[in-house]
Amino acid sequence: MLPKNLKYQNKVESASARAYTSAIQPQNGTGNYSANNTIIINIPTSPNTVLVPSESFLKFDIGGVTCGATASSYLRLDKAGAHGVIQRLRVTHGSQELENLDNYGPWVGELLALQQSSDGIGGKLNIMNGLNLSYLHNNTTREVFPALVGERLVPYGAAAGNAFAAAAVMANRTYSINLMSMVGSLSPQYVPLFEMTSAPLTVSIQLVSSALRFLTSETALANNSGFTISNVEFIGSFIELSDESIAIIRQSLMGSPLQYVIQSYANITTNSVLANANTSVSHPIPAKYASLRSLFCIMRSHADGAITHFSQSSTHFNIVDWRLRIGSQVVPYKAPSSMAEHFSELVKAIGSLSDVNHEPTLNWYTYSTNAVATANAETSQVMNQGTKSDCFALGFDLETYANADKDRIFAGMNTLNSDIFWNSNFGANASAPNVKFDYYALYDNVLVFENGVCYSKK
């Protein structure tokens, strides 16, 4: 065999294609949509066409947030930015459900803090998603540290002393977000719409029940914390392939159906009261998948929203230690019992401890503190330590082959026949809060395209 650099007959496969962008309006029009409404977007599945999910986005305006009797100078998006308006994201093809993620916004906010470097927050994520990197100070040590929050929604520089101006109604802001979905950031390949011609690809977006679920305010909001979403469009990036391209693809499949794997998330929610005493909780996690890659947990006491609080703020509530029971197996072998151990397990669940390029926005003051997250301590110049939206999360890696290429193998644990329980021990919580536990399962989702239909094998 001659080496390839001594072969001169390399054949370059060439086929024409046409890239284009299309603005797709929702089934019920571009708006106005309000709390609890569902936006339905039907992506056409034309022959020879693929969707480029990494370059497609949802564009919309947020407005209609009205303060009460007193105009407010403090309205700020939470750490998920514009993603926070989404309660549930569901993708279907005909009668086949491909993705379904409830409590979408809080988890996007957590992932942004865990995966996004603080260097990138002030640029495109600020303009597109409404995110901000604010520098807070510790009241005792005066140490300055970064925190991920959403942008201020009232004008700056219009009031006396160049401060934030009070406003009775929030002006409309336009955002464009790449959805955490197979039609967005979770798909590694072009979506083969040419193999889905039996029905459109439908994206259903249920909105949250209150503005206080995606922003914080220092004063009570009118209209039952109402808001409006308007000018909604899905800006899709598409490629129309030539017949030659389609023929090459089909030849490479050798008669088998087209299929590939994406990462998907599922949400399991429960509530527990944490008493003013040592408390143990055990929650069942119905995460039954052929390849379960990771499990995560975030805990919130103001998940339904409250003035002067960040509803997406997740804290540790004096957690002592935790372990999982999966079937007869108890993991990890040693229960994590310190902040460093909690964070180390979390990093392993989303990446690798050895990855020196992983620089999350998280730091000691946003991950390990347990303060009540109040918003009305902010001034025009600085943010008080209690103003931040905290980012505490737990995670456990269930992959067999850690930090390996997963393109051709399933590395997650098969839990189809296993009962899972997350067991946690807490120290005393003086206020005995009713805590919402959101568990998120990361699993390998196999998409199969056959006879014009796409279906999911989980």
Task: Report all structural domains of the chain as residue ranges with CATH numbers, in order of start.
Answer: 16-457 (2.70.9.10)
Q: What pLDDT, on the 0 to 100 scale, is given for residue 115?
A: 87
Q: How far apart are CA 214 and CA 26, in angstroms?
A: 22
pLDDT of residue 124: 77
Number of Cβ atoms within 10 Å of the Cβ of 174: 15
pLDDT digits (tens, 9 = 90+) for 183-221: 999 998 999 999 999 999 999 999 999 999 999 887 788
Q: What is the mean pLDDT of residues 340-362?
A: 89
Which helix (DSSP H) or strand (DSSP E) does residue 346 occupy?
helix 339-350
Per cent of the chain over pLDDT 90 is 59
Residue-wise pLDDT tens digits, 353-400? 888 888 888 888 788 877 654 554 555 444 454 567 889 999 999 998
Name 413's bridge partners: 292
Write out pLDDT tens, residues 288-338: 999 999 999 999 998 988 888 889 999 999 999 999 999 999 999 999 999
Q: So what's the pLDDT on residue 12?
A: 55
Q: Cα angle at 146 between 144 and 149, to 5 degrees?
A: 135
Instruction: Check residues 148 and 112 and name the one with the higher pLDDT.
Output: 112
Residue pair 429/317 in contact (Cβ under 8 Å)? The answer is yes
pLDDT at res. 36: 96
DSSP secondary structure code for residue 225 in this structure: T
Q: What pLDDT shows up at residue 383?
A: 47
The alpha helices in 82-131, defined as continuous H runs, are 104-115, 124-129
Confidence of residue 59 (pLDDT cuts 50, 70, 90): very high
Count Cβ atoms below 10 Å from residue 123 Cβ, excluding itself: 11
Q: What are phi and psi of 55, to 5 degrees?
A: -110, 10
108 Cβ partners below 8 Å, 6+ apart?
80, 83, 84, 180
Query: For a pLDDT cut of 70, what percent of the chain falls above it?
Result: 83
234-248, 373-387, 436-450, range with the lowest pLDDT: 373-387
Cβ–Cβ under 8 Å, residues 307 and 219: yes
Residue with more model confidence, 360 or 228: 228
pLDDT of 371: 61
Residue-level pLDDT at 380: 46
pTM score: 0.91
pLDDT above 90 for 4: no
Residue 268 in contact with residue 441, Cβ under 8 Å?
Answer: yes
pLDDT tens digits for 117-156? 766 566 778 888 888 776 665 555 556 667 777 887 876 5
pLDDT recorded at residue 171: 76
